[in-house]
Amino acid sequence: MPPQIPSKPYKQYFFYGHRHRNPKQHRPTVYGGLFTNRQSLTPPNPDKPITPKPQPFHLRNWDPDRPFKQHSNLTPSPSEAFFSSALRLSPIARFIVDAFRKNQNQWGPPVISELNKLRRVTPDLVAEVLKASHRRDSNPILASKFFYWAGKQKGFHHNFASYNAFAYCLNRHNRFRAADQIPELMDSQGKPPSEKQFEILIRMHCDANRGLRVYYVYEKMKKFGVIPRVFLYNRILDALVKTGNMDLALSVYRDFQENGLVEENITFMILIKGLCKAGRVDEMLEFLGRMRANSCKPDVFAYTAMVKVLISEENLEGCLRVWDEMRADRVEPDVMAYGTLITGLCKVGWVQKAFELFQEMKGKRILIDRAIYGSLIEAFVQDEKVGLAFDLLKDLIDSGYRADLGIYDSLIKGLCNENQVDRAYKLFRVTIREDLKPDFGTVKPIMIQYVETRRMEDLWKLLSLLQKLELSMDDVLFKLMSLMVEEEDKISTALDVFRGLIDKGYGSVAIYNIVIGALHRHGQAKKALEIYNDMKSSNIEPDPSTYSIVVSCYVEVEQIQEACASHNKIVELGSVPSMAAYCSLSEGLFKICEIDAVMMLVRDCLANTESGPLEFKYALTILQACKSGKAEMVIDVLNEMVQQGCPVSAVAYSAIVSGMGKYGTIEGAKSVFLHLKESRQMREANCIVCEELLVEHMKKKTADLVRCGLKFFNLESKLKAKGSKLLSN
């Protein structure tokens, strides 16, 4: 048994007390007695805010989802909505985007201080951030500043991904000119651009139809010694052809040949379609020969595309030449090729040639679709060959097709043109049995024919049938009356139809407005007012459009008080008179020397309409010039008014009378009128009338001033009493 070692006596001491322990690496030495190192703490002041000490930034402690955790139950704000769009980014990219957002997308020291918290930025991270700036309200200058800031970091070099992302970012914000300078930037930074960078720029310009910019980038490619692939050449040629730069496209094609590249089918077709669109058929045929020599014989789809382009340009002769080339190559046209050519021939009236191709299709037993039948039927109707059109209709039905509404509309129109309205009506009944839904275009020829032949009973029967078909009668009758009142010699017939419609209970405000407006337009204002009075006696209430027309009618028959009453009716209905009503009423008020009312009407018009008449705007300018009291300034405004193509009318005369009467003199106003007469902008009779109205206006103003003075001094009652006393004596 080993000897027991006696333990040392336990010496009590306090931790950090007066007894010292041996210092170690992680144990500091503390001196002092019992509790001698304690300090007295002052209580905190509640009025003084406690400012926390700034903590060092650690990216691992940054929580990008903090806004959504704090406000998870609230609707996200616009800034949070922007931040949510960056959720698919990496954490560091989200931190950079958030730094941009917090500083309102403006580059400055706050953004730089936030970015300096990062240890380093990689080119892929720069590309990721630039791709994220896709919103319209983002700042493209911020993206550029960030791109250049990243390039200045120690040991940083942009890669192709960051350059490409920068180009996309600039193009998104419509700064494509700056994007075109990226190849020079790459070259200056020791990164010569490859074909991929130029392809990106070319694709951007192609999508935006900027053909000249495409050629600019192509020239820059040649400067850097980059030879495009055949695919990129095709893209460049297509962009130049679509934007109408055919000569530039041919120059690019010459470079294509000099570089020793081999054309593809699409290369030839791009140039051929461009030459077809430009009408250069001979050059197009040369390219067809090159296609055959290069074993790129065009197929039926290529020939159909040529025909379609020539048809769109209405080059029928070139179209037939292409058709002959197709036959020379022994390429059998399909139904699409035949349909394209037949439809184009029918549109320009070459119906006989189109019918020959139609018979050729039948001889080859090619399936003929309904569109070809419809084009031929419409062309025959326009060529006044309705019999052949009906033969095609029979052939269409025998082939197992159902005629559509467009075919029936063409046939009905053709029958009515040949005065066969009864057959047209029977064909219209056929459309109803076929469960088609006829519209106004279907029945318009029948209704016009009934009106011209005075077959009113048949017209009423047709209208009742349309009502049973649940067509909008207001729309049908509105279009019918609008057609009938277009010509002045048909006004009497239109009135007969109008009275018949009223008797049959088809009257409406729209029909009344059409008739009243047509009568006024053709110089029958009194007749229009008679129709208006009949309208008021019926149960139909006029609308603001009616009152606007009636204002002009009343002015024309010199019933200015009634015109003013109609204007007030429009205001009571909460509407605004038409421009014609404003102009007519201003002329009428000028004739009865209501100058102040004219100027009130001018201000009311300009206040209630977005763009009032130019003469109304110049009227206020004339008033402003009159404040100087100089006739020369008013004459300058009138000369400018004439130079702008605005004739001097009653509104301008009213402004001269009102302004010179208030701010100038009668002699000044007369000198202005004399200038207008001498410059042949006013007839002598009108000059005399204006001078008389000027004198009368000044008399009215003087009388108003005297009356106001009598009221102010309370002398009006004394004068009335004195006048009555004199009358009694």
**pLDDT tens sequence across 91-120:** 777 777 777 777 767 787 887 887 877 777
| CB-CB contact of 303 with 266 (8 Å) | no
CA distance 691 to 688: 5
CA distance 28 to 34: 17
- 267 against 151, higher pLDDT: 267
Q: What is the pLDDT of residue 66?
A: 52
Q: What is the pLDDT of residue 138?
A: 62
- pTM value is 0.68
Q: Which of 240, 251, 252, 304 is nearest to 278 (CA)?
A: 240
- 75 against 257, higher pLDDT: 257
Max Cα distance, the chain (Å): 167
Residues 132-156: pLDDT tens digits?
765 555 667 777 888 888 888 888 8
| CB-CB contact of 373 with 396 (8 Å) | yes
CA distance 719 to 667: 34
Is the pLDDT confidence value at 290 over 60?
Answer: yes
CA distance 142 to 108: 9
Count of residues in the chain:
729
Is the pLDDT confidence value at 421 over 70?
Answer: yes
Q: What is the pLDDT of residue 427?
A: 92
> H-type helices in 644-683, by residue range?
650-663, 666-678
Q: Which amino acid is at 438?
A: P
Confidence of residue 373 (pLDDT cuts 50, 70, 90): very high
Q: What is the pLDDT of residue 157?
A: 85
Q: Supply the angle between the helices 614-626 and 631-643 in degrees, to the nearest 10.
A: 160
Phi/psi zone of residue 156: left (φ > 0), alpha (ψ -120 to 50 degrees), beta? Answer: beta
User: Which tokens hold the place of 724?
Assistant: 């009555």
**Sign of dihedral through CA atoms 687, 692, 693, 699?**
positive
- 24 against 246, higher pLDDT: 246
**Sign of dihedral through CA atoms 86, 89, 91, 96?**
negative
Q: Which of 432, 371, 347 is nearest to 446 (CA)?
A: 432
Q: How many CB atoms lie within 10 A of CB 123?
A: 18
What lies within 8 Å, CB to CB, of 331 at 6+ separation is 298, 299, 300, 303
183-197, 221-235, 386-400, 654-668: least confidently modelled range: 654-668
Q: What is the pLDDT of residue 96?
A: 78
Determine what percent of the chain is predicted with pLDDT higher than 90.
18
* DSSP for residue 294: T
**At which residue do the structure tokens 């606007």 appear?**
548
Q: Bridge partners of 27? A: 24
What lies within 8 Å, CB to CB, of 354 at 6+ separation is 341, 342, 345, 346, 375, 376, 379
Q: Bridge partners of 24? A: 27
| CB-CB contact of 233 with 198 (8 Å) | no
* Average pLDDT, rounded, for the chain: 80
Confidence of residue 721 (pLDDT cuts 50, 70, 90): low
| CB-CB contact of 240 with 273 (8 Å) | no
Is the pLDDT confidence value at 251 over 90?
Answer: yes
Residues 328-372: pLDDT tens digits?
888 888 889 999 999 989 988 889 999 999 999 888 888 888 899
Confidence of residue 87 (pLDDT cuts 50, 70, 90): low
Q: What is the pLDDT of residue 469?
A: 86
